[in-house]
Amino acid sequence: MDKHRPAIFHIINKIVRNNEVANDLAQETFMKAFSALASYRSEYRFSTWLYKIAANCSIDHLRKRRLQALSLDRPVETGDGTVEIEVADYSYHPEQELERKERRFSIEEAIDSLPENYRDVIVYRHKEDKSYEEIADLLNIPIGTVKARIFRARELLKKKLRNV
């Protein structure tokens, strides 16, 4: 027990996240291991067998402790009748939405202010997801020119958007 107790405790505590419960489950692990010693097969490492018992013991504990789920679709019966459950939606953040819209507007504005030859390649590449070859065909220019214009357009956009 002295040799394996720290590792067993560590494994269990990682699963249950409670020192007191982990101590109890470590003790239970050793009791289960002792009672199941006849099932241990010597071709495997003893520590691995013991660690598996500890993990299973922890998982069993969590299953037993699982909270009762409450259906949000079904009304709750109370002494005064039935009550519908309403849960607040905290996923929507107006400030973040506003910042995202402002950032997108700034990017659009910066793209619109680019010279036409740079604006075209950026729009084709990033808004319309065109390949370099497709852009070269559309604009009737070499692929190398497309790549150079995209690079220069991105550099100009970085400068324009640095303060955003």
Q: What are phi and psi of 71, to 5 degrees?
A: -75, 130
Structural domain boundaries of the chain?
5-65, 95-161
Q: How much of the chain exceeds pLDDT 90, in percent?
A: 65
- How many CB atoms lie under 10 A from the CB of residue 41? 6
What is the identity of the amino acid at 5?
R
Q: Classify domain 95-161 by CATH architecture.
A: Orthogonal Bundle (1.10)
CA dist 11 → 15, 53, 60, 61, 129 (Å): 7, 11, 14, 14, 48
Read off the pLDDT of residues 60-118 as tens digits, 9 standing for 90 and up.
Answer: 998 888 766 667 777 777 778 877 777 777 888 888 889 999 989 999 999 999 999 99
The CATH classification number of 5-65 equals 1.10.1740.10
Instruction: Work out the mean pLDDT of the chain and round it to a whole number.
Output: 89
Q: Determine the Cα–Cα distance for residues 4 and 20; give it in Å rounded to an integer.
A: 18
Three-state DSSP state, 77: strand
